């Protein structure tokens, strides 16, 4: 998980409530929430903090302690409250509106209020490790971005055969031009909605959430844009945004931007960069291979079906993507426990990079962590979810099953799970996960805390794997492995 922007370490004293509430409101506004939404989030936090202070530590002579962690990105704010008070089961305290009206009984009303005030609210009981409350509020900007263009996607000039381009790093002042460029290239079909909001783009640049380049003509007209996005908790970046205006395609512009972008990445602290090439065609895959990227996996049903403006007919199913990775710094001292089921394939994926991890034999009864820690992320816009295993305790499978059962009730297409390959417990989890319907996805190098992870995936929608287009030999091998497991009934 991404490191918090801020953390409050509090005691269960009524005097902390006001200070926590004041800080929360100011932080929410600074993070980009509208004032009324900031008030809603603050009210939700006030409800949780007050309940903790008043009820979580009833028998303790000394005040208990709890933490509030604040995180934000260009599209949402996330607040996590972690307390260590007495056990609590919210399922036994349901809110009954009739009792509230007729009898003045408001048991369970607190949770209902928090759900009403936030866009997402989840409660997690970790036993001896305490209880965690997750609150998410999405940053809503004008739903009709100021992108009424001087030229629509259909009216781009085409007589530009001798045009020259100036490629330079982006700054916040480029935000509006980038948004207009995306619109003129794709209409409103580009899958990353943030690129239609200049303020979100500018904020991401100011906060150094992305490394980007923009290409302009001699007349200062935006022609192309390319960016590497910061990942939430590791030292790799995603080549996640690439746009070239239709009038400037096939003029070598993509190559110029890619070369500058890679050089910028090499000068950063990133250990590597990865791109997710859509499996609708092989164009992006070919480009990635040309610049030294190597295929490490396939993500089934990664985002909903789209119509890419002027490029493709409507696609009949969620879009799968090929993961291509480029190592920038060859520093690979990790111990790696390869599951027997995927030993040969994973070994060959590593061999592409000319690195030699310290491969270890799987252990029959590996040591376990004191408790299981699994992060859960749900992206309702892209209709995907990700479980990240941080530590594996004795109850790890039970914990996975609980989160898996919850995710199956969400309106999503795919569940991914990332398992750390440096943990000797990982090989023991593969077979149980396959019995749950998970199949191979690939190697995710450095994806979390700088460590390599095995990704597996469980599809929750109809998917015709024969429609996925691959280019490299390795991408075909990975897809063949996925098809084999699906055909054998893992899904």
Pair 38, 25: CB distance under 8 Å: yes
What local confidence, expressed as pLDDT, does residue 155 receive? 42
3-state secondary structure the chain: CCCCCEEEEEECCCHHHHHHHHHHHHHHHHHCCCHHHHHHHHHHHHHHHHHHHHHHCCCCCCCCEEEEEEEECCCEEEEEEEECCCCCCHHHCCCCHHHHHHHCCCCCHHHHHHHHHCCEEEEEECHHHCEEEEEEEECCCCCCCCCCCCCCHHHCCCCCCCCCEEEEECCHHHHHHHHHHHHHHHCCCCCCHHHHCHHHHHHHHHCCCEEEEEEEECCCCEEEEEEEEECCCCCEEEEEEEEECHHHCCCCHHHHHHHHHHHHHHHCCCCEEEEEEECCCCHHHHHHHHCCCEEEEEEEEEECCCCCCCCCCCCCCCEEEEEEEEECCCCCCCEEECCHHHHHHHHHHHHCCCCCCEEECCCCCCCCCCCCEEEEEEECCCCEEEEEEEECCCCHHHHHHHHHHHHCCCCCCEEEEEEECCCCCHHHHHHHHHHCCCEEEEEEEEEECCEEEEEEEEECCCCCHHHCCCCCHHHHHHHHHHHHHHHCCCC
Pair 213, 264: CB distance under 8 Å: yes
What local confidence, expressed as pLDDT, does residue 90 receive? 67
What local confidence, expressed as pLDDT, does residue 162 receive? 47
Q: Which of 36-40, 231-235, 254-258 has the lowest mean pLDDT?
A: 231-235
* 350 and 479 part of one domain: yes
Instruction: Provide the CATH number for the domain around residue 468.
Output: 3.40.630
**Is 439 inside any structural domain?**
yes
Higher per-residue pLDDT: 314 or 321: 321
Q: What is the number of domains present in the chain?
A: 3
Print the domain residue range for 123: 6-138
* 121 and 161 part of one domain: no
**Is 160 inside any structural domain?**
yes
**Is 280 inside any structural domain?**
no
In angstroms, the Cα distances linking 377 to 158, 233, 386, 420 are 43, 13, 5, 17
Does pLDDT of 232 surpass 50?
Answer: yes
What local confidence, expressed as pLDDT, does residue 133 receive? 92
Instruction: Provide the CATH number for the domain around residue 165.
Output: 3.40.630.30
* 339 and 477 part of one domain: yes
Does pLDDT of 233 surpass 90?
Answer: no
Does pLDDT of 195 surpass 50?
Answer: yes
* 342 and 381 part of one domain: yes
- What is the per-residue pLDDT across 95-110, written as a single tens digit (0 to 9) for each? 444 543 454 444 556 7
Does pLDDT of 262 surpass 50?
Answer: yes
What local confidence, expressed as pLDDT, does residue 398 receive? 92
Instruction: Give the residue-averaged pLDDT of 293-310.
Output: 82
* 429 and 452 part of one domain: yes
* 204 and 257 part of one domain: yes
Does pLDDT of 160 surpass 60?
Answer: no
Domain boundary residue among 107, 138, 169? 138
Instruction: Give the residue-averaged pLDDT of 203-211.
Output: 88
Does pLDDT of 150 surpass 70?
Answer: no
pTM over 0.85, yes/no:
no
* 229 and 160 part of one domain: yes
Instruction: Give the residue-averaged pLDDT of 453-469.
Output: 96
**Mean of the per-residue pLDDT values of the chain:** 86
What local confidence, expressed as pLDDT, does residue 178 receive? 94
Instruction: Give the residue-averaged pLDDT of 1-27.
Output: 88
Does pLDDT of 306 surpass 80?
Answer: no
Does pLDDT of 252 surpass 70?
Answer: yes
**Is 113 inside any structural domain?**
yes
| Cα 230 from Cα 236, distance rounded (Å) | 7
What local confidence, expressed as pLDDT, does residue 60 receive? 75
Domain boundary residue among 138, 163, 196? 138
Q: Which of 96-105, 188-197, 392-401, 406-415 has the lowest mean pLDDT?
A: 96-105
Does pLDDT of 490 surpass 50?
Answer: yes
Does pLDDT of 56 surpass 80?
Answer: yes
């Amino acid at each position: 998980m991404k490191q918090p922007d801020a953390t409050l370490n509090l005691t269960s004293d009524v005097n902390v409530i006001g200070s926590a509430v004041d800080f929360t409101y100011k932080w929410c506004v600074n993070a980009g929430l509208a004032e009324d939404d900031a008030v809603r989030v603050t009210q939700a936090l006030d409800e949780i903090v007050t309940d903790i202070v008043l009820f979580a530590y009833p028998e303790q002579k000394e005040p208990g302690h709890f933490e509030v962690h604040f995180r934000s990105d260009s599209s949402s704010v996330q607040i996590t409250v972690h307390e260590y008070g007495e056990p609590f089961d919210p399922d036994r305290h349901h809110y009954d509106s009739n009792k509230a009206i007729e009898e003045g009984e408001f048991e369970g009303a607190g949770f209902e209020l928090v759900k009403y005030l936030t866009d997402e609210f989840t409660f997690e009981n970790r036993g001896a490790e305490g209880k965690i409350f997750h609150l998410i509020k999405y940053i809503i900007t004008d739903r009709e971005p100021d992108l009424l263009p001087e030229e629509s996607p259909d009216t781009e000039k085409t007589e530009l055969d001798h045009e020259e381009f100036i490629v330079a790093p982006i700054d916040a002042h480029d935000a509006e031009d980038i948004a207009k460029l995306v619109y003129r290239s794709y209409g409103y079909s580009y899958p990353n909605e943030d690129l239609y909001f200049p303020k979100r783009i500018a904020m991401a640049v100011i906060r150094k959430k992305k490394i980007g380049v923009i290409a302009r003509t001699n007349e200062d007209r935006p022609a192309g844009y390319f960016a590497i996005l910061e990942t939430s908790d590791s030292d790799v970046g995603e080549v996640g945004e690439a746009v070239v205006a239709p009038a400037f395609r096939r003029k070598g512009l993509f190559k110029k931007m890619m070369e500058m972008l890679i050089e910028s990445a090499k000068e950063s602290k990133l250990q590597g960069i990865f791109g997710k090439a859509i499996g609708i065609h092989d164009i992006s895959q070919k480009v990635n291979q040309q610049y030294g990227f190597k295929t490490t996996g396939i993500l089934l049903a990664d985002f909903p079906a789209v119509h890419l403006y002027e490029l493709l007919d409507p696609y009949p199913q969620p879009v799968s993507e090929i993961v291509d990775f480029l190592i920038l710094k060859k520093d690979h001292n990790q111990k790696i426990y390869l599951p027997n089921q995927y030993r040969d394939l994973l070994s060959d994926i590593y061999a592409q990079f000319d690195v030699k991890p310290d491969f270890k034999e799987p252990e029959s009864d590996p040591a376990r962590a004191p408790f299981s820690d699994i992060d859960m992320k749900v992206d309702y816009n892209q209709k995907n979810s990700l479980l990240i295993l941080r530590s594996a305790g004795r109850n790890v499978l039970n914990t996975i099953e609980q989160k898996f059962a919850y995710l199956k009730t969400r309106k999503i297409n795919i569940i991914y799970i990332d398992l750390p390959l440096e943990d000797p417990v990982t090989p023991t989890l593969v077979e149980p996960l396959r019995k749950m319907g998970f199949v191979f996805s690939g190697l995710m190098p450095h994806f979390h805390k700088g460590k390599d992870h095995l990704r597996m995936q469980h599809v929750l929608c109809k998917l015709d794997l024969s429609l996925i287009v691959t280019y490299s030999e390795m991408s075909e091998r990975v897809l063949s492995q996925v098809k084999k497991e699906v055909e054998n009934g893992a899904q």
